[in-house]
């Protein structure tokens, strides 16, 4: 079966975000492609850039995103109005996407196995199952890149990825229907984005319930600065609440590590 046969484009069109698809059997990075398309003024949104196989996936910061046959990798280019069109709200968008990914996975794995490592790593049984990279393209249009380990095996992955990651197939023991999974994800994203616009605190509360670091000692790196203390969850503005030696702090950006 070639990779495009994995997707039923007519079915995907049932979701608003699946109506226009830019499909590539093999591509470097769907985020790069979405940004390239966004630079064309006539480029319509929403637009789904979907890969059968991604060869140069990017992660947050300088990280790369490893994927293999059977991974689900795509980027969604949307209009600025789709998310809260305010740069200060970008961390909230990350949370909304992460919660939507959990929504779509919960029916397949059961909600109790899923959680979030702030701001937007999705974990299943304590291992990373999905990564999210949101970037802003031309015309202030957000590109929401999602890499989900669905039907792939982690066997051929580099050691550090194999130690920390898992896939839906490994956990459920079943092959997933990629179209249905993607469709569920697109519908969940649409729902969480409208929640974000209408009442963003609800998104933060959902993320807080999924926060896996609560009660643990964490440090958030912001360049050369570190904020260290006990994690108390995710606050109503989407930041990580940390009880430090000098009192509670609401941390809005940075890389969080558990100590």
Binding site for ligand BTN (CB under 6 A): 29-31, 54, 57-60, 63, 65, 73-75, 131-133, 145-147
Cβ atoms within 10 Å of 62's Cβ, excluding its own: 6
- Phi and psi (nearest 5°) for 95? -65, -40
Closest approach, Cβ 65 to ligand BTN, in A, equals: 4
Closest approach, Cβ 153 to ligand BTN, in A, equals: 17
- Phi and psi (nearest 5°) for 190? -60, -45
| Residue among 10, 25, 6 nearest 178 (CA) | 6
Closest approach, Cβ 255 to ligand BTN, in A, equals: 10
Q: In 21-140, at which residue ranges do the beta strands (DSSP E only) sit?
A: 21-27, 47-54, 72-77, 114-117, 121-124, 127-137
Closest approach, Cβ 253 to ligand BTN, in A, equals: 15
Nearer to ligand BTN (CB atom), residue 52 or residue 229: 52
Closest approach, Cβ 161 to ligand BTN, in A, equals: 11
Q: How many Cα atoms within 13 Å fall on the side-chain side of residue 99?
A: 27
Distance CA 196, CA 56 (A): 31
Closest approach, Cβ 142 to ligand BTN, in A, equals: 13
Closest residue to ligand BTN using C-beta atoms: 131
Sheet holding 141-148, edge to edge: 21-27, 47-54, 72-77, 141-148, 127-137, 121-124, 114-117
Nearer to ligand BTN (CB atom), residue 179 or residue 205: 179
Nearer to ligand BTN (CB atom), residue 29 or residue 82: 29
Question: Counting every residue, how long is the chain?
Answer: 259
Distance CA 34, CA 174 (A): 31
Nearer to ligand BTN (CB atom), residue 46 or residue 147: 147
> Which residues does 224 contact at the CB level (< 8 Å), separation at least 6?
none
Closest approach, Cβ 64 to ligand BTN, in A, equals: 8
Sheet holding 217-222, edge to edge: 247-251, 240-244, 225-234, 217-222, 255-258
Nearer to ligand BTN (CB atom), residue 199 or residue 253: 253
Nearer to ligand BTN (CB atom), residue 133 or residue 188: 133
Nearer to ligand BTN (CB atom), residue 60 or residue 89: 60
């Amino acid at each position: 079966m070639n990779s495009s046969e994995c997707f039923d484009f007519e079915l995907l069109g049932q979701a608003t975000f699946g109506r226009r698809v830019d499909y590539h059997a093999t591509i470097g990075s769907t985020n790069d492609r979405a940004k390239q398309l966004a630079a064309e003024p006539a480029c319509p949104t929403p637009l789904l850039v979907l890969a059968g196989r991604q060869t140069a996936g990017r992660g947050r910061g300088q990280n790369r995103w490893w994927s293999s046959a059977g991974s689900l990798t795509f980027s969604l280019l949307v209009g600025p109005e789709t998310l809260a069109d305010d740069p200060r709200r970008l961390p909230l968008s990350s949370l909304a996407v992460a919660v939507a990914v959990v929504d779509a996975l919960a029916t397949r794995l059961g909600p109790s196995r899923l959680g979030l490592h702030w701001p937007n790593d999705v974990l299943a049984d304590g291992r990373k199952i999905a990564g999210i990279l949101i970037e802003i393209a031309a015309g202030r249009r957000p590109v929401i890149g999602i890499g989900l380990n669905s039907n792939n095996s982690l066997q051929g992955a580099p050691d550090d990825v194999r130690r920390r990651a898992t896939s839906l197939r490994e956990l459920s023991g079943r092959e997933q229907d990629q179209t249905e999974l993607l469709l569920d994800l697109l519908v969940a994203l649409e729902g969480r984005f409208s929640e974000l616009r209408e009442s963003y605190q609800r998104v933060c509360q959902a993320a807080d319930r999924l926060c896996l670091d609560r009660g643990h000692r964490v440090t958030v790196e912001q360049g050369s600065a570190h904020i260290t203390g006990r994690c108390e969850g995710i606050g109503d503005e989407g930041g990580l609440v940390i009880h430090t030696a000098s009192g509670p702090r609401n941390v809005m950006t940075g890389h969080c590590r558990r100590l």
